[in-house]
Amino acid sequence: MTDRINPVEKLERIMEQLAESVLELSDEALLAEITESGSDPQQEAELTRSLLRHAAGPQEVGQRLSNVSETTDSHYCRTSKGLSR
């Protein structure tokens, strides 16, 4: 029953552990992984720095999200037949 009750929490745990595993990597291992994944570490780092420097405020992020995506009321889902509860 536990397996079925907490999928959200389970998913959160997986992603949390995944994120925390990044912190356990040595600098060399981190650079090697990024290179292995086909990215240029230096370029990626500078891009991140640039993003940090020109960070948009949370309100702007929220506005962008609301513009980008169609929101579905969580009480409803859209089907080919229209909204149904």
Residues in contact with another protein by CB under 8 A are: 1, 4-8, 10-23, 25, 27, 30-31, 33-34, 36-39, 41-42, 44-46, 48-49, 51-53, 55-58, 61, 65-66, 68-75, 77-79, 85
Nearest to 31 by CA among 41, 18, 20, 21: 41
CA angle 83, 84, 85 (to 5 degrees): 135
> Nearest distance from residue 65's CB to another protein, in Å?
6
Q: Which of 83, 63, 64, 67 is nearest to 75 (CA)?
A: 83
Nearest distance in Å: CB 50, another protein: 10
